[in-house]
Amino acid sequence: MTQVATDSFAAAWSLYTQGQVSQAEQAFTKLVQAHPGWGEALHMRGVCLLQLKQHGAALPALQSAAQYTPQDPSVHSNLGLVLRALHRHAEALAAYDKALQLKPDFAQAWANRGNALRDMGQGDEAIASYQQALQCQPHYAQAWHGLGLAFGDVKRWTDSLAAFDAALAQKPDYAVAYMDRGNTLREMERVPEALQSYERALQLHPQYAQAWSNRGVVLKRLGRMDDAAASYERAITLDAGFVDAIVNYATLLKDMMRVPAAVAMNERALALDPDNSGAHLNLAICHLVTGNWGPGWQHYEWRWKTDQLKDGVRTFAQAQWRGESLQGKTILLHAEQGLGDTLQFCRFTQVLAARGARVLLEVQAPLLALLAPLPGVHGLIARGQTLPAFDLHCPLLSVPLALGLTLEKMPQAQAYLQADAALAHTWAAKVGTASVLRVGVVWSGRPEHKNDHNRSIPLAEFRCVFRPEHRYHCLQKEFRPADVQTLSTCSDVAVWDSELHSFSDTAALIASMDLVVSVDTSVAHLAAAMGKPVWLLLPFSPDWRWVVGRDDSPWYPRMRLFRQPDTGQWAPVLAQIHQALGLLTRSQET
């Protein structure tokens, strides 16, 4: 190589090290044009193009560099970076492996290999790769950060947190590590600490839109709704195309019951990303909760593309029913989501049977005995059992769309479930005869439910509804530790958890009740579907099925809705129920 060429390379390198990457790329390009086989120049041109995010142009440059300098591990590692940026993850992995064959102690290549394995969904293999990087270079902050992400991928949250802390010990100004540490703390339900971690990231990097958005998520969890709104607005101001932040903000607006603003924000997200399933699902909820069921059911079909439900999609050779004639056809209706959803939407078996269909109903196993006498069902199958032959299928919550169901067309609600007569007789004997009002109560649901922090009430708060002139029967099977202690002091509440072996038992116990007072759980759906009077306690932002602006439900004939006046305010609701219970006697209509 001539002295002129060597000097030109040095000048181009100087531009690169001074951060003048675009000018350096132009200089390296001239060198490559003058010396087509110069591997080092090809390599640096590719590196510049990679940093300029011109990945399509960087790829052939680095491929050529690898041909001319095949023994340089850095070339193969940088080629892997470009391939990963182009989402060619398997090829990126092969490039990193080649770099490591040449230099087994190449910490950066081990870490980059871990990144590619994460992209491919191979979390455990990624962990091993990051650990190899750290064996080569124990103080490598980026490898600790990658290890924290990989532990998170496999839900090893304690290990994830430790890895992020190690990254920050090596690099205290590592804003991205603080943000991802916040994500892990959020998964561990250490929400105040997550907020602190996000705020530290923002102290280091005030223009960090992702951290502003994630801060909004935890502020919402802490009930600081206005602060959360401001945080989302800041994220969107910094990045007007940040669709995830826009969707998160739309969700917050819906939870603040600013529904028109939520609709507008979701539509803004869809203008940027028409296939964004989260925005479609948010729009569905906004429409359904306001009684605008037509477009609501249409957008609700996007639920199957969300992270929460995409793994639950059922694939059959038979077509999904979309509303065509069912005369002489066998249709499989299959349960989805929770038990309460099944109890609410199994009502449509009668409607489809009336249209000439032979209805097969697949449900969760715990509901099998309870739903055995359901009208309109030709065959009842537990999920996981072999399915008989059928012509069409439909998820239960897609039936309203196929029927074209609107609030105006909703048939008058009727009871459609009943307790087994023999079981009901047995439970009636256990409950005993009494002249006082018998009230079934449910104050909490499963803690694992994603919205449990909004719907459940500690018994220490809920007990203020109890009046001495009535007799209360607990209809739930599971209790929080604090509730167990409180329950031991509630002498006027009969507890049956050890004898409630199935939903059939719960239905039989409900049959002896005069009234059920419940938070939003499957037991409330069961009692309401049986035609029992149900007083349902709802958070300020209710589930989509409880249409706002009314204290009754189009779904159930004898349900009365008691709504929070604002986020988290159960005290006024409980006071209202206590007062309403004071107006009732056994003989009065509830």
pLDDT-derived band at 4, boundaries 50, 70, 90: low
* CATH 3.40.50.2000 domain locations along the chain: 318-403, 421-581
Say what the pLDDT of residue 434 is.
72
133 or 62: whose pLDDT is higher? 133
Say what the pLDDT of residue 161 is.
98
pLDDT digit string, tens, across residues 88-107: 999 999 999 999 999 999 99
Say what the pLDDT of residue 551 is.
96
pLDDT digit string, tens, across residues 221-241: 999 999 999 999 999 999 999
pLDDT-derived band at 1, boundaries 50, 70, 90: low
Q: Quick one: 222 exposed, middle or buried, by C-beta within 10 A (0-12, 13-18, 19+)? A: middle
Closest listed residue to residue 524, CA positions, set 490, 496, 558: 558
pLDDT-derived band at 158, boundaries 50, 70, 90: very high
Which pairs from 210-216 meet CB under 8 Å and 24+ separation? 210/179, 210/235, 210/242, 211/175, 211/178, 211/179, 211/182, 212/238, 212/245, 213/242, 213/244, 213/245, 213/248, 214/179, 214/182, 214/183, 214/186, 215/182, 216/245, 216/248, 216/249, 216/252
Question: 64 pLDDT exceeds 70?
Answer: yes
Rg (CA), the chain: 30
Which pairs from 377-384 meet CB under 8 Å and 24+ separation? 377/349, 377/353, 378/330, 378/353, 383/334, 383/335
Q: Quick one: 117 exposed, middle or buried, by C-beta within 10 A (0-12, 13-18, 19+)? A: buried
pLDDT-derived band at 325, boundaries 50, 70, 90: very high
Say what the pLDDT of residue 586 is.
59
201 or 31: whose pLDDT is higher? 201
Range 157-180 average pLDDT: 98
Question: 130 pLDDT exceeds 70?
Answer: yes
How many C-beta atoms surround the C-beta of residue 553 within 10 A? 18
Question: 323 pLDDT exceeds 60?
Answer: yes
Say what the pLDDT of residue 381 is.
97
pLDDT-derived band at 587, boundaries 50, 70, 90: low
pLDDT digit string, tens, across residues 19-43: 888 888 888 788 778 788 888 888 8
pLDDT digit string, tens, across residues 459-514: 999 999 999 999 999 999 989 898 888 988 888 899 999 999 999 999 999 999 99
Range 389-395 average pLDDT: 98
Averaged confidence pLDDT in the chain: 93
Say what the pLDDT of residue 411 is.
85
Say what the pLDDT of residue 19 is.
87
Range 375-393 average pLDDT: 96
pLDDT-derived band at 311, boundaries 50, 70, 90: confident
The model's pTM: 0.88
**Three-class secondary structure assignment of 50-96:** HHCCCHHHHHHHHHHHHHHCCCCHHHHHHHHHHHHHCCCHHHHHHHH
CA atoms of 521 and 531, how far apart (whole Å): 16
Q: For residue 172, which amino acid is it?
A: P
Which pairs from 80-86 meet CB under 8 Å and 24+ separation? 80/109, 80/112, 80/113, 80/116, 81/50, 81/112, 82/46, 82/50, 82/55, 82/58, 83/59, 84/112, 84/115, 84/116, 84/119, 85/50, 85/53, 85/55, 86/55, 86/56, 86/59
CA atoms of 70 and 28, how far apart (whole Å): 19
pLDDT digit string, tens, across residues 524-562: 999 999 999 999 999 999 999 999 999 999 999 899 999
CATH topology of domain 318-403: Rossmann fold (3.40.50)
Q: For residue 100, which amino acid is it?
A: L
Range 192-204 average pLDDT: 98
pLDDT digit string, tens, across residues 243-291: 999 999 999 999 999 999 999 999 999 999 999 999 999 999 999 999 9
pLDDT digit string, tens, across residues 343-367: 999 999 999 999 999 999 999 999 9
Measured between alpha carbons, how far is residue 249 from residues 212, 279, 283, 302, 524 in Å?
11, 10, 13, 19, 31
Question: 588 pLDDT exceeds 70?
Answer: no
Residue 292 CB partners (closer than 8 Å, separation 6+):
407
Least reliable range by pLDDT among 177-186, 374-383, 441-450: 441-450
**Do 516 and 535 contact (CB within 8 A), yes or no?**
yes
φ/ψ of 207, rounded to 5, equals -95, 20
CATH number of 421-581: 3.40.50.2000
Range 566-577 average pLDDT: 95
pLDDT-derived band at 197, boundaries 50, 70, 90: very high
Range 50-69 average pLDDT: 88
Say what the pLDDT of residue 374 is.
95
